[in-house]
Structure 1
Amino acid sequence: MRLGKVTGQVVSTAKDPSLAGLTLLIIEPMLPGDPNREPFVAADLVGAGRGEVVLCVSGSAAREAQATSGTVVDCAVVAIADSVIDAGDVVYSK
């Protein structure tokens, strides 16, 4: 799982039919130790919005949810964080 913040949305009318009905979000990684700090796109399965901190899964785990089974999705938002505690410090609280 990766932790990140929603910074935007991708709107696409020309896409694989399996993506119909899925919202695509731009996620900026949050954890300092994350080796890949580049923003990425994830299918939203939980109704996340801009500025929210979310948990994302990638690869085959992203296709385990009912909404993404049989799709071309490689990354999915599966949870919205209420708080993040790192080394005993609250680094995010909703």
Structure 2
Amino acid sequence: MRIGQVIGKVVMSQQDPAFKAARWLVISPVDSADLSTACKKTPPLGKQPSIIAYDQLGAGMNDVVGFVEGAEATAPFDKPTPIDAITVALFDQIHYSPYPGKTA
């Protein structure tokens, strides 16, 4: 699982019927250097390329989410589904302290 911040949503006129009752979000991945401020609803923090993720949790703008990518993203579906990223957690708070002697 990776952590990211919602920075937008995707609007589409058609989608595969397997993706009913959910939406697609634009997520900016957050690295360890940004974790201490990740849940403060600040402007987007991530410096990595953004991803598009399927969301069934109801995450909103600036929310901090956990997401998985690749084969793990298809696990919630009964049938093979063409998906590469899905939200799996909606964080209220993150408390992070790097190990002593390590840099973020």
TM-score over 0.5 (shorter chain): yes
Structure 1 unpaired stretches of 5+? 89-94
1:1-94 matches, within 5 Å, as 1-32=1-32, 37-66=48-77, 69-87=79-97
How many residue pairs get aligned? The number is 85
In structure 2, the partner of 1:92 is none
Residue 48 (structure 1) shift: 0.7
Contact (CA 8 Å) 1:19, 1:72: kept in 2 or not?
A: no
List structure 1 runs of 4+ shifted beyond 2 angstroms: 14-22
Paired-residue identity, %? 32
- Output the TM-score relative to the length of structure 2: 0.70
Residue 26 (structure 1) shift: 0.3
Computed over aligned residues only, the root mean square deviation of the Cα atoms, in angstroms, reads 2.1
Q: Which has the larger radius of gyration?
A: 2
Q: Point out the structure with the larger strand share.
A: 1
Q: After superposition, give the CA deviation of every residue in 1:60-94 in whole Å (9 maximum; x if it has no partner).
A: 1111114x753211100011011112216xxxxxx
Residue 32 (structure 1) shift: 4.3
- Output the TM-score relative to the length of structure 1: 0.77
